[in-house]
Amino acid sequence: MLLVACVAVIAPLAAAAATKEAGTVPMAADNPFARPSTLPFELPPFDKIRDEDYTPAFEAGMREQLKEVAAIAHNPQPATFENTIVALERSGRVLDRVGTVFFNLSSCNTDPKMQEIDTVMAPKLAAHNDAIFLDAALWARVDKLYTQRASLKLDPESLQLLTRYHVQFVRAGAQLSAADQKRLRAINEELSTLTTRFRQNVLKATADGAVVVGKVADLDGLTPVQIGAAARAAADRGLKDRWVIALQNTTNQPTLASLTNRELRERIYRASVGRGLSGATDNRAVIAQVVKLRAERARLLGYPDHAAYVLEDESAGNAAAVEGMIRQVASAALARARAEAADIQKLIDAQAAARGVPSFTLEPWDWSFYAEQVRKAHYAFDQAQVAPYFELEHVLQDGLFYAAHELYGLSFKERKDLPVYQPDVRVFEVSDADGKPLALFLADYFARDNKQGGAWMSGYVSQSKLLGQRPVVANHLNIPKPQAGQPVLLTFDEVTGMFHEFGHALHGMLSDVRYPYLSGTAVPRDFVEYPSQYNEMWAREPKVVEHYAHDYRSGAPMPPELLAKVLSAQKFNQGYATLEYLEAAKVDLAWHLIDASQAPAAAAVPGFEAAALKDAGLDYAPIQPRYHSGYFSHIFAGGYSAGYYAYLWSEVLARDTGQWFHAHGGLTRENGDTLRRMVLSRGRTEDPQVLFRNFYGREPDIGPLLEYRGLAGGG
């Protein structure tokens, strides 16, 4: 089970697996995970699921799958594709159901009881996974089939499935000696415990790090809606006459763009970067131990380091390719960032001179605030002016759903009759162009304290013809919920985020494959962000914007000149955005290019990170990594270790695809259907690089990405 920051991919077998010690807790007959849901699309019966149901279902699910796997491994019949590989695909249904719901809700709607279960269950699931992938009899059958693959006369999708299983067994250690396998199991269990602790520490540190403000005057610069949200956040914490600025998961905090009080900005910034570095939520020792164990595991499996192990199975192939891409983009980004900083410093100096006070040097907590002023000066609009045009319901119905209708013929109908896990969550039934039911889409957009930060997509049911399942997918964002009766007005970044996550959702919903293992978003991490980043293009495509960007009060469309400003402003501050991302990608790689003996002591964790940035020439004081290690959940609690670079890698494909659409007439059914047929419906039934090449007609090119970000041509 991977809990990934941006897209939670549930691979059936790797995901849910059983435990080495058979559990003793029996599963009641009426446990909601005992049998497939009878709701449309097998939507989980959220109204019937109680925390007490998870542990018995996990344990029964693991027992059941171990029994199924033993029957496959010890089948007296010779191994066939059907009785081995397809049988594995069919195994572990109970575990799949409970694991999917549990881990999705652990991310978006957790509670202390679930966190306890997570802590207990994570090492058991890791051990269960090993019990399957290190089963010698099972491995012998898989290996034999793979050796005979040429004579099995398999169709391409089945051959791909066999190949993927073989790769997964090898990568899980199936070929190791018994002694090495024993050590591997111990490492996997310890890692699962550590990553669970990391995730829980970040959640708590982020909630605890919220900044309490005593005077409303200190919130000068925030909009009334934002101040209302801060008052609500204080009330939720039982604080009277106080305002609370909750933290979001990144280093930079959105309120820093508008708060005029410099001391408060610094407090918020320091609260953000201090997460995971001290006290009860200190993650330094967790990090040191995680990187050490990952390095040791890589060595056991025959790789020089964890990055080499991870990247071999990604499109990139190896660390040198990733570092090459980072270098290629870094010089353009750094040059642009320095120019942006110079503009900001000039503004700071001019304002100080005008007031007759000493100037100061630009600090990280100043960047967004002054960048916003530079933006206003350059583009002559501010957030308050555009916000009324980006009202959530319009963006959803007339933006996301509209584009999906024009491109793929999809229609959306809200289902208020179906149960949800939280009253803010909405369910939409999706119909295909021919009117047939295609999928369910869950929209969970608002921030909550019991929800992980950031935005991501997750799946509750994977599309698969083998199991007769149609997809149920969800999008999760952290849009601050306004006070009752207030409209939900978004920034253009939030609009783009909605389109991004919906791109993942479409990848899941348009999946049209036989095997669950190869379904939808179950592709390499450096490919999975391709459909989502491609879908972002529609947020700014004039034909789509004209359709959704209407003033929520009057219905008036956004004036064309304001729209032009918003769109051209998208290239603004891209030096900053690109550099903070590259810094985080570099930190991630550095942690995973070491040998176990090079893992630092806990106290040296921040120093290790700083040295990595310095060595790469990416230590630029005003711009800090998008995530510092202490709260870098993608790599220490999610599935993105040695993989944070994947966003930029996939973005190359996404921007090339944007260029392809424009060259072929833009938003049309014909174009949408081509991409759907060649990429979006294919999951991992073919090598993703081949899917892209067949669609695009050639290898990816970095040019359109630099152009899209305004980094091209030395500008």
Q: Does residue number 1 form part of the binding site for Zn ion (CB under 5 A)?
A: no
Query: Min. distance of Cβ 436 from Zn ion in angstroms?
Result: 28
Give the three-state DSSP class for 431. strand
Of 4-12, 360-368, 625-633, 682-690, which part binds Zn ion (CB under 5 A)? 4-12
Question: Binding string, 440-469, against Zn ion, x = CB under 5 A?
Answer: ------------------------------
> Across-strand partners of 213?
243
For residue 701, CA distances in Å to 48, 174, 657, 711 come to 50, 38, 10, 15
By three-state DSSP, how is residue 712 classified?
helix
| 165 Ramachandran zone, left/alpha/beta (phi>0; psi -120 to 50) | alpha
User: Does 125 sit near Zn ion (CB under 5 A)?
Assistant: no
**Stretch of residues binding Zn ion (CB under 5 A), selected from 1-9, 154-162, 205-213, 408-416:** 1-9
Q: 253 with 556: CB under 8 angstroms?
A: no
Q: Is 243 helix (H, G, I), strand (E, B) or coil?
A: strand
Name the token pair of 472: 């149920």
Residue appearing with tokens 């652990």: 106
**Which 8-state DSSP code applies to residue 600?**
P
Strand order in the sheet with 7-8: 7-8, 456-461, 472-479, 437-446, 426-431, 411-414
- Classify residue 676 by its DSSP letter: I
Q: How far is the CB of 507 from Zn ion (least distance, A)?
A: 10
CB 410 within 8 A of CB 432: yes
Q: State the minimum distance, in angstroms, from the CB of residue 8 to Zn ion.
A: 10
The CB-of-475 to Zn ion minimum distance in angstroms stands at 10
User: Which CB, 128 or 634, lies closer to Zn ion?
Assistant: 634
Please state, in angstroms and rounded to a whole number, the distance separating the CA atoms of residues 519 and 340. Answer: 43
409 and 433 in contact (C-beta within 8 Å)?
Answer: yes
Q: 362 vs 528, which CB is nearer to Zn ion?
A: 528
Nearer to Zn ion, 181 or 657 (CB): 657
Say whether 534 sits in a helix, a strand or coil. helix
Look-up of token digits 């018994």? 178
The least CB distance from residue 650 to Zn ion, in Å, is 8
| Minimum separation from the CB atom of position 192 to Zn ion (A) | 24
Over its C-alpha atoms, the chain yields an Rg (Å, rounded) of 25
Nearer to Zn ion, 133 or 534 (CB): 534
Q: Assign 78 to helix, strand or coil.
A: coil
Q: Which residues are catalytic?
A: 501
Specify the residue, 349 or 493, whose C-beta has the smaller distance to Zn ion. 493
* Number of residues this chain uses to bind Zn ion (CB under 5 A): 3
**Residues 6+ away with beta carbon under 8 Å from 552:** 388, 389, 391, 393, 394, 487, 489
Q: State the Cα–Cα distance between residues 448 and 543, nearest whole angstrom.
A: 34
- Of the pair 365, 530, the CB lying nearest Zn ion is at 530
Binding mask 321-360 for Zn ion (x = CB under 5 A): ----------------------------------------
Q: How far is the CB of 403 from Zn ion (least distance, A)?
A: 17
What whole-number distance in Å separates Cα of residue 625 and Cα of residue 202?
17
By C-beta, is 291 or 477 nearer to Zn ion?
Answer: 477
CB 638: neighbour CB atoms within 10 A? 26
Whole-Å CA distances, 634 to 25, 55, 126, 225: 33, 26, 19, 31
Q: Which lies closer to Zn ion via its Cβ, residue 366 or residue 526?
A: 526
Question: Considering the complex, what minimum distance in angstroms separates the CB of residue 524 from Zn ion?
Answer: 13
Residue 10: CB minimum distance to Zn ion, A? 15
How far is residue 68 from each of residues 31, 62, 146, 464, measured CA to CA in Å? 20, 10, 21, 20
| Stretch 510-539 residues interacting with Zn ion (CB under 5 A) | 529, 532
Judged by CB under 5 A, does residue 6 bind Zn ion?
yes
Nearer of residues 139 and 534 to Zn ion, judged by Cβ: 534
374 vs 572: CA distance, rounded Å: 9
CB 427 within 8 A of CB 403: no
Residue nearest to Zn ion (CB): 6
Q: Which residues are near Zn ion by CB under 5 A?
A: 6, 529, 532
